[in-house]
Amino acid sequence: MTKRSYGEGGIFERGENTFRLTYRIRKERFAVTFKGTRKEAQAKLRELLKSGDDGTHVEPSKITLAEWAKHWLSIGAPGRKKKRAGRSSVERYEQLMRIYVIPTLGTKRLQQLQATDIDRLYTELETRLAQQTQHQVHTVLGACLGKALQKGLLSCNPIDRTEKVPHGGESNHGQVLDQEQLTAVVQMFKERSLYPIVAVAAFTGARRNEILGLRCRDLDPVAKTLRIERSVEERMGRDGLTRGLEGPKRESHKRTIQIDHALVRLLLSVREQHQRLIAGVPEGVAVDLSLVKLPEEALMFPSFDKGNVDLTKPRAPRSITDMFEEHARKAFPGLRFHDLRGSHETALLDAGVARTRCSCPLWA
């Protein structure tokens, strides 16, 4: 034990690099457990005493990081301006905390959390995560602890003293294909099941999840339009990953896109395949398919399980990306599915065409 005069507190060794710090603030006695070297324990005690002098002292709490993170997420993960994050953002924050932070630091009490603990976490994550994901973990953890500081649960934010601050690195802006290359990519998939999805992406500039959220009724073959109103969203719950359809974050994201005759014919052929599947009519057999009614919620590009026909079940977005990149990168190394959207919009800008009109000749 380090002896000190009344009011200066005491340091009691409780094990290897573990100390119990006792001190008084306005005649009230407090005690905290501290892990670190004796020199660090002495510095922490001085910090606690100083907080009593300048009026910033926070009474030690037994709340753990896991408990606080759960509460912070339950109220919408508000930041410094008390603004709640969006639903999808909160779900992403929860995922980052649950997978990468809580298993290592979750049992630690908030006021026992040290910058060195966070440094060790970041060192571990360096071997497991991409640089951008490491930076996301740092940002979310910082926001979580920052709100605890604002609420008076911390006297300082330990993340401000970390030595290892993950940086996001350079953003990958992807590739921009010219019109000839964009056409070539679409034609690469002509004999594959992914062909209509790739064609819609390249021809309309719609996002991957928006395309997978298209219902058959969103196509108007007479007006030659395609209506974008929803997208596929995935979230992690108690029962694992679930997939459903959600409306856009902004009403302005809903839009009607003018398409050409070739894309109309392609999408009508997709709808015809669904009608044949429902009616049990093989390809090549002449029949009046107008009598076959699809479910109101039938998707244009649903997920087909073996032996189970459900036209309303959304397809896994990641599987589309994987299949696209595996085939497309044989001719265009590094090409991403999202690059189709950027390339389409660049082509429209070059042609001086509004985004809601699609006049790129991709069907040569």
> 7: exposed, middle or buried (C-beta count within 10 Å: 0-12, 13-18, 19+)?
exposed
Residues facing residue 232 across a β-bridge: 245
What's the confidence (pLDDT) of residue 353?
A: 46
Q: State the Cα–Cα distance between residues 96 and 142, nearest whole angstrom.
A: 12
Extents of the domains making up the chain: 10-54, 65-161, 179-351
> pLDDT 10s digit of each residue in the chain, 364 long?
444 444 578 999 888 888 888 888 877 888 877 778 899 889 888 888 888 887 777 666 778 999 999 989 988 888 766 677 777 788 889 989 999 999 999 999 998 899 999 999 999 998 888 888 899 999 999 999 998 887 777 877 899 888 878 876 655 567 888 888 888 999 999 999 999 999 999 989 899 999 999 999 999 999 999 999 999 987 766 666 678 888 877 777 789 999 999 999 999 999 999 988 888 888 878 777 888 899 999 999 998 776 677 899 999 898 999 999 999 999 999 899 988 888 876 665 555 444 444 444 444 4
How many other CB atoms sit within 10 Å of the CB of residue 204? 25
Domain spanning 65-161, CATH architecture: Orthogonal Bundle (1.10)
Q: State the Cα–Cα distance between residues 15 and 19, nearest whole angstrom.
A: 7
- Give the residue among 135, 129, 142, 128 at the shortest CA–CA distance from 168: 135
Q: Please tell me the CATH code under which domain 179-351 is placed.
A: 1.10.443.10
DSSP string, 59-123: -----BHHHHHHHHHHTT---TT-PPPPHHHHHHHHHHIIIIIHHHHTTSBGGG--HHHHHHHHH
What is the DSSP code (8-state) at residue 156?
S
